[in-house]
């Protein structure tokens, strides 16, 4: 897989943000965020923030093949949204490979995700959107970072990638008590929800209006999504 998030100090900022218990209502907020993540997967993209866009992102995935997969399972979403999902999925795949979180011979988005996939998603969103670096140092004021709304769209793309393209639906990410294996959709996880709540607090403290996913998304159901 790559570095262990529990041991690698280069990602201490990710872990601290995931474990940030900012309010007494954390449990209720986590539940709300998980529900919003489910609502958010069919979000229509009115505009795209191209933070971190790189023409070399094609190394990890073949874009025509990815677009074909998205179109096959993307009933009800526009061509523009499908293209943005494809761009973000490819950006995430490139990020985890360049950071060696996933070995080059393995795809990050797949039907059997690695046990630390949720942490990888948090690291990806943190890299492009957060006020702090992965190692918990402060980002320079002149470093470009995306909005919280864009972070929600990144998560929506990941939810779509695992849930629809790879048939994992909206089952919450969890470890089986019987086999010990991790099951479900890594984007629909307490780990990623904890990070998103922490990110939202930092964005709000910086004066950004962090819109709830329910305010900008339409409901979606992935339970009948075919496996590809």
pLDDT in tens, 179-197: 999 999 999 999 999 999 9
- Count of C-beta atoms within a 10 Å radius of residue 66: 22
Q: What's the mean pLDDT in 70-82?
A: 73
Contact of 192 with 121, CB cutoff 8 Å: yes
- For residue 71, being part of any structural domain is answered with yes
Q: pLDDT of 146-167, one tens digit each?
A: 999 999 999 999 999 999 899 9
- For residue 109, being part of any structural domain is answered with yes
Domain count, the chain: 1
Whole-angstrom Cα distance, residue 86 to residue 50?
13
Tell me the pLDDT band of 26, cut-offs 50, 70 and 90: low
Most confident of 77-81, 103-107, 115-119, 215-219: 115-119
- For residue 139, being part of any structural domain is answered with yes
Q: Which domain does 119 fall in, by range?
A: 9-216
pLDDT of residue 217: 42
- For residue 138, being part of any structural domain is answered with yes
Tell me the pLDDT band of 218, cut-offs 50, 70 and 90: very low
Pairing of strands 182-183, 174-175: antiparallel
- For residue 63, being part of any structural domain is answered with yes
Contact of 41 with 204, CB cutoff 8 Å: no
Which of 16-20, 37-41, 52-56, 211-215 shows the lowest per-residue confidence on average (mean pLDDT)? 52-56
Indicate the helix (H) or strand (E) that contains 174.
strand 174-175
């Amino acid at each position: 897989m790559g570095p262990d998030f529990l041991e690698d100090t280069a990602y201490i900022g990710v872990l601290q943000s995931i474990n940030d218990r900012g309010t007494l209502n954390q449990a209720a907020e986590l539940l709300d965020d998980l529900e919003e993540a489910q609502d958010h997967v069919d979000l229509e993209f009115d505009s795209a923030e191209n933070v971190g866009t790189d023409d070399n992102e094609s190394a990890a995935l073949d874009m025509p093949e990815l677009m074909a997969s998205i179109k096959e399972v993307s009933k009800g979403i526009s061509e523009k949204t499908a293209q943005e999902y494809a761009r973000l999925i490819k950006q995430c795949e490139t990020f985890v490979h360049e950071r060696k979180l996933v070995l080059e011979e393995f795809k990050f988005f797949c039907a059997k995700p690695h046990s630390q996939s949720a942490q990888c998603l948090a690291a990806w969103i943190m890299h492009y959107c957060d006020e702090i670096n992965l190692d918990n140092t402060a980002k320079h004021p002149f470093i470009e970072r995306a909005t919280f709304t864009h972070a929600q769209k990144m998560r929506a793309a990941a939810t779509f990638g695992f849930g629809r393209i790879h048939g994992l639906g909206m089952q919450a990410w969890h470890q089986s008590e019987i086999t010990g294996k991790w099951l479900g959709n890594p984007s629909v996880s307490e780990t990623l929800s904890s990070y998103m709540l922490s990110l939202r607090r930092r964005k709000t403290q910086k004066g950004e209006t962090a819109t709830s996913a329910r305010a900008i998304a339409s409901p979606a159901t992935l339970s009948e999504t075919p496996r590809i």
